[in-house]
Structure 1
Amino acid sequence: MALPKSIRIVAGVTLCILFYMLAQIYKAPTELTVPTSTPSQKITGKWDHDPQLDPSGEPPEPLRRVEGNNYDPDNPNSARINASLLALVRNEELEDMLKSMEDLERTWNHKFNYPWTFFNDVDFTEEFKTKTRAATKAEVRYEKVPKEHWDIPSWINMDLFQESVSLLTEEKVQYMDKISYHQMCRWNSGLFSEHPALANTQYYWRVEPKVHFFCDIDYDVFRWMQDHNKTYGFNINIYDSAESVATLWPETQKFLADHPEYVHPNNAREWLEDDKRRPEHNAKAHGYSTCHFWSNFEIGDLSFWRSKKYREYFDHLDRAGGFFYERWGDAPVHSVALGLFEDKSKIHWFRDIGYQHIPFFNCPNNPKCSGCVTGRFTDGADWLNQEDCRPLWFKYVGMD
């Protein structure tokens, strides 16, 4: 029995609307779900794929892998380039350092055998040397931080420092009362790259005690950086305590006023200045979003930290005193410099390297990973999910 004409018309119109909607969906940009445990954090953009659904997450070719004995530790003609794993570590952190070494050796370095270089402001104990040498087949080097690189600079007013400690401790700025923490941040910000032991080293991978690596990485990360002309690789990208860097951006602005030519035309300044997602951070930090690469994981080219523009920038900050009067960390200092002075296309998110430094994770959806929950960003309190700054990086810079 034929349907009434009116019903046929309604059905036809409905089908037309349905086909139109489907066409619009396929034409619309893909929605990127940021790989965190917070499902509401989404950014719309033209992305090739969702990083959580990517089966590998590996960066583009070429990927240099083990072939025969090309990465054997005793091969004089090894495929290794001029690079090292770096750790600033105390003797009493030996067991935690061994855990980090065990993870990174198991997931990556037992294949490539890049040297480890350990730094300390005091001499390493024989126990530290014996146990760390036993944890790797690669060469191990032990270096002491020069006294002039570690001591509090002569221009720091210690009375003002103590007043600052009292004030910022009341504002709950973590580690503000620990002089060694300030010294460490200053050294990692601008002095580690000047150590004589690294004079002939170009690339480094920073490793800290008590971190974890979850994914099998079967390509030479350092050679990938070189082949693709990358300056810096990060893993986790978060907000900082605004109180700890309240004058970092104003001091940076002073420096830029004298050196506008140092700002790269393809910079990531919008990421540094965003005032929409966390406006309270931007306000307290006087124009700085406080987004930064969490530098307990960083893979970088030392040439950038040795460049004229960065040396002058670090010296300006050092003289301003914020490493002591506030608690400027190497992470925001490195990040601000990279975001302003480097081509943002030379900064790479290593999403395929599963990593944890308490309380944050980078955990890819990758069959090569085990021991972490895919997409988890933190195992801490729920509010810590809001500390993820990768959404802003994807918004303003993208994802290579």
Structure 2
Amino acid sequence: MAIARPVRALGFTAVVLWCFFVWQLFKPIATPMGPGASSFLPKERDPNLDPTGEPEGVLTYASEGYAPGPEGTARIDATLLALVRNEELDGMLQAMRDLERTWNNKFNYPWTFFNDVPFSDEFKKKTQAETKAECRYELIPKEHWDVPSWINNDLFLESTKILKEQQVQYADKVSYHQMCRWNSGLFYKHPALANTQYYWRVEPNVHFFCDVDYDVFRYMQDNNKTYGFTINLYDSPESIPTLWPETEKFIAEHPEHIHENNAMKWLTDKTRRPDHNEKANGYSTCHFWSNFEIADMNFWRSKPYEDYFNHLDRAGGFYYERWGDAPVHSIALGLLEDKNRVHWFRDIGYQHIPFFNCPNSPKCKGCETGRFTDGEAWLHREDCRPNWFKFVGMG
């Protein structure tokens, strides 16, 4: 008896779908990153693949004490902090929406925005509309932003030519050098932050993926933490060739400032990226990617850090080279602070193009668990977290 054509078609389709399903299950994993990509892939298993919960220690959860306005008596002296321009409004709104949705709608910590020019009415209106919390709009003092008097402009211009030849990004942008210097040693001196101890730095166009249900600022306070990070990278050694030699001069002049439980091995490792260590004259170039940082400003206000920043500032490398606030902050923390007071916020899903921190948690949506980058394969080499885990741990 002949089988009707529709039935045959249906059967054929079922067989094809079944074969496709089996192939999907057992096909070899593709490497879309191109020939030779495997040489850049990490040798270590990413701990973000393991189930991730809240950190150990004392945790404080949302309550009526976190209501907006003066009723919010549970909040401590802390703020969400952004250095942002008027033209970056759309990117700032996107970042605010993410962080408000995943965390700050529960705690209503204030936002403090900084700019070297006045904020527009549009910027103020649209950012305030994104949050129930207070928004503050602050102008950076001219003396904090201007190029310092001891910088030789001719030498600066010649230096930027050399840096551009070495393909150092943003080398010829004066505003970028100003930003790095301000973020390194001046932002916490602004009068608007005089009564603020903790901050969470937020930049435009970043993404937050995971619901966080505890007060991260109280976590820092109650668990004796100075600094929190998500992403740990290698820096461009061409941008900081004399940063470590100047640091060594500082160490020789101020041995009393070096903490006995420091992270010197992390700062000077040359096993993983010997080329970086050589070009940076003894510095591994490992640093916390400071576009995300949650920190206690009392550390930056301390005498050891003030002495270190002033030493670097007078050396001129914020302009003659391209010293960023990320390596400056990281070296200072690695030398001047107890390494156990630096915390990896593995449970906070975060992206700043092209890198991710994406934990394995049901609280996370919108990022691929354990994914480090969505860029070229060679970017996997920039991950310095394995060195931090090796020399310090995952606390």
Q: Would you call these one fold, judging by a TM-score over 0.5?
A: yes
Q: Which runs of 5+ in 1 are unaligned?
A: 1-36, 44-49
Out of 74, 78, 82, which is 1:83 matched to?
A: 78
Whether the 8 Å contact between 2:52 and 2:347 is mirrored in structure 1 is no
Out of 161, 176, 186, which is 1:166 matched to?
A: 161
Q: Which runs of 5+ in 2 are unaligned?
A: 1-39
Aligned counterparts, 1:305-320, within 5 A: 305-320=300-315
Q: TM-score, normalised by structure 2?
A: 0.89
Residue 42 of structure 1: how far off its partner (Å) = 4.6
Distance 2:303 2:176 in 1: 27
Q: TM-score, normalised by structure 1?
A: 0.88
Whether the 8 Å contact between 1:42 and 1:391 is mirrored in structure 2 is no
Determine helix, strand or coil for the equivalent of 1:238.
strand
Residue 62 (structure 1) aligns with: 58
Q: Does 1:148 align with 2:143?
A: yes
Determine helix, strand or coil for the equivalent of 1:70.
helix
Residue 38 of structure 1: how far off its partner (Å) = 3.8
Residue 44 (structure 2) aligns with: 41
Distance 2:52 2:335 in 1: 33
Distance 1:269 1:214 in 2: 33
Residue 178 (structure 1) aligns with: 173
Structure 2 CA distance for partners of 1:142 and 1:159, relative to 1, 3 Å: same
Q: Does 1:347 align with 2:339?
A: no
Aligned-pair identity in percent equals 71
Whether the 8 Å contact between 1:87 and 1:207 is mirrored in structure 2 is yes
Distance 2:256 2:57 in 1: 34
C-alpha deviations, 1:120-149, integer Å up to 9, x for none? 000000000000010100000000000000
State how many pairs are aligned.
356
Residue 27 (structure 2) aligns with: none
Q: Does 1:304 align with 2:299?
A: yes
Aligned counterparts, 1:1-400, within 5 A: 38-42=41-45, 50-56=47-53, 58-67=54-63, 69-76=64-71, 78-400=73-395
Determine helix, strand or coil for the equivalent of 1:250.
helix
Residue 53 of structure 1: how far off its partner (Å) = 1.8
C-alpha deviations, 1:74-93, integer Å up to 9, x for none? 24352110000000000000
Distance 1:80 1:269 in 2: 35
Distance 2:166 2:186 in 1: 29
Distance 2:71 2:193 in 1: 20
Distance 1:52 1:359 in 2: 19
Structure 2 CA distance for partners of 1:390 and 1:191, relative to 1, 3 Å: same
Determine helix, strand or coil for the equivalent of 2:283.
coil
Distance 1:395 1:41 in 2: 11
Determine helix, strand or coil for the equivalent of 1:315.
helix
Distance 2:263 2:43 in 1: 24
Structure 1 vs Structure 2 CA RMSD: 1.2
**Structure 1 segments (4+ residues) deviating >6 Å:** none
Distance 1:371 1:230 in 2: 29
